A and B are shown apart, each in its own frame.
Chain A
Amino acid sequence: QKEVEQNSGPLSVPEGAIASLNCTYSDRVSQSFFWYRQYSGKSPELIMSIYSNGDKEDGRFTAQLNKASQYVSLLIRDSQPSDSATYLCAARGGDYKLSFGAGTTVTVRA
């Protein structure tokens, strides 16, 4: 079983819509969770981190964490063509290593 699993996608949304990305993790001890955005041919870039249960908002991005369900999500509101990228979910486990999901590719249609 993979440590971090993401909905496989690809996810296609119209411009202005909400893109919803989901992630589950297997290590119950995980305390820190991160969403990275990776454009094609580029390096991962941190867009959100979340450590406590509940929602965390930053501009058009909202991360949600539910430790009881071992579930993390990312909502992108008012999606723009520039949001088209692969989104990587990562969890820091009890061994302090960062485990990444396989990524969800999002395409925003103009």
Chain B
Amino acid sequence: DTAVSQTPKYLVTQMGNDKSIKCEQNLGHDTMYWYKQDSKKFLKIMFSYNNKELIINETVPNRFSPKSPDKAHLNLHINSLELGDSAVYFCASSRGSSGVNTDTQYFGPGTRLTVL
């Protein structure tokens, strides 16, 4: 059973298009995250939701909009894609967020986005 799954695994698209990436976790976790990993392997938090509520919103262009229909799903919609958006996007989940120092994050397989 896949704990954290993402679709699609690969996404190739033209500049200016709008695309979505979906994430689902079956671990019963309350918190989900989106990370961006650039070509230099630097992994940076973008958003986090706890029980469908946005709790972390880093300095990310407002072309990126997360949506959490329920605590098992966190989707990422990107409008007007730019060349610089090309990266691997990882979804992750954990049991809880603030106040739980030992909280461990589990990562999905990643979505490699290429903007042409």
Cβ–Cβ contact B101 & A51, under 8 A: yes
How many whole Å from B48's CB to the nearest CB in chain A?
Answer: 8
User: How many residues of B sit at the interface, in one of the four size bands?
Assistant: 20 to 34
List, in ascending order, chain A residues with CB within 8 A of B90's CB. Answer: 43-44
What residues of chain A have their CB less than 8 Å away from a CB belonging to chain B?
31-32, 34, 38, 42-46, 49, 51, 86, 88, 92, 96-100, 102-103
List, in ascending order, chain B residues with CB within 8 A of A43's CB. Answer: 90, 107-110
Q: How far is the CA of A102 from the CA of B42 in the complex (A)?
A: 5
Residue on A nearest B55 in the bound complex, by CB:
A96
What residues of chain B have their CB less than 8 Å away from a CB belonging to chain A?
40-45, 48, 56, 90, 97-99, 101-110
Residue on B nearest A40 in the bound complex, by CB:
B41
Q: How far is the CA of A95 from the CA of B44 in the complex (A)?
A: 15
How many whole Å from A25's CB to the nearest CB in chain B?
Answer: 14
Known A31-B101, A98-B45, A98-B105; further 16 A-B contacts with Cβ < 8 A: A42-B109, A42-B110, A43-B108, A43-B109, A44-B107, A46-B104, A46-B105, A49-B104, A88-B43, A92-B101, A97-B48, A97-B56, A100-B43, A100-B44, A102-B40, A103-B42
Residue on A nearest B100 in the bound complex, by CB:
A96
How many whole Å from A62's CB to the nearest CB in chain B?
Answer: 19
